[in-house]
Amino acid sequence: MSTTGQIIRCKAAVAWEAGKPLVMEEVEVAPPQKHEVRIKILFTSLCHTDVYFWEAKGQTPLFPRIFGHEAGGIVESIGEGVTDLAPGDHVLPIFTGECGDCRHCHSEESNMCDLLRINTERGGMIHDGESRFSIDGKPIYHFVGTSTFSEYTVVHSGQVAKINPEAPLDKVCIVSCGLSTGLGATLNVAKPKKGQSVAIFGLGAVGLAAAEGARIAGAGRIIGVDLNPKRFEEAKKFGVTEFVNPKDHEKPVQQVIAEMTDGGVDRSVECTGSVQAMIQAFECVHDGWGVAVLVGVPSKDDAFKSHPMNFLNERTLKGTFFGNYKPKTDIPGVVEKYMNKELDIEKFITHTVPFSEINKAFDYMLKGEGIRCIITMGA
């Protein structure tokens, strides 16, 4: 392309300080360096992780910053050493990566790349520690290596999944974070068998994706657990068959679920980050074969306890990161599930806003309205 090797000036939504509305600015985006690609972002989405770090609660604030990590776009140019991507490729930038060389990347069991696993504190690129974004010569920091709230962004090639060019980017952009996290937690880690019962704790976007995974797996009963009864009607679209609101019961939730299911569910997936929910999710699975999977991210100092007999009675507790999907190897296959009509993505998308109105997406999420809001970059 004619812009190869040159600085690109484009619009970006910049967070100048914590919790303040993003400001539309003209930024300069430097060309990609070694092992990097520059991507023209066409559609992006807002995830709760963006909001959490924008609010700067409980972590080192880093501003000014360009947030955004669920997105779809087209490769504009590539840096030195990039061999698996080319200008024109349709891609999803991803908040974690796959270098292909470390022990984790060589393991069939792990997706936690030593080089490129998520780093929320890094504001520059791995190659040289510098930012590729600037305004009047002053750097604007990156976020999780993606920074998709910009018309152009620079991403390490190990964090870029090349996908089917026929896939609509305004839909599959949400595959790059929350949807895959929940879907993979069920399909890749909990692995319910056809006809089994599954409890999902937390019916936000990730929990609904976990429920979708249970539906795809052919679960017989999918029990949704949430403190917000407004979420129950929406969750039916994702295969949830029964609902439990802990507020409606005097007994512990794990006891309620055990009574509903003749001793406990076969699988549970916890998507809240609450340690109380983690205990409930573990203790509500059936002895002998029950498997509980933790997805939600707890607070820094959290801890929970459960009696060792719960393990000795052959219950299994597992954790997962990004649904155990390897970004470059596996995410194209999740897109193919959508293309083959095995996976329904449209029902996750409840709002669409033009890029100029990106702050509306934050408003929807802060009010708890909808599941995913697509931000159209050209608008």
Catalytic residues: 47-49, 69-70, 99, 102, 105, 113, 117, 177, 372
User: Within 10 Å of residue 224's Cβ, how many Cβ atoms?
Assistant: 27
- Determine the Cα–Cα distance for residues 72 and 95; give it in Å rounded to an integer: 13
Residues near 223 by Cβ (< 8 Å), separated by ≥ 6? 197, 198, 199, 200, 240, 241, 242, 243, 244, 257, 260, 261, 265
Closest residue by Cα to residue 170 from 378, 376, 29, 379: 376
Alpha helix (H) ranges present in 60-204? 103-106, 169-172, 178-184
Closest residue by Cα to residue 328 from 44, 115, 20: 115
Residue corresponding to tokens 């050209």: 378
Contact (CB, 8 A) for 134 and 14: no
- Determine the Cα–Cα distance for residues 86 and 89; give it in Å rounded to an integer: 6
SS3 310: helix
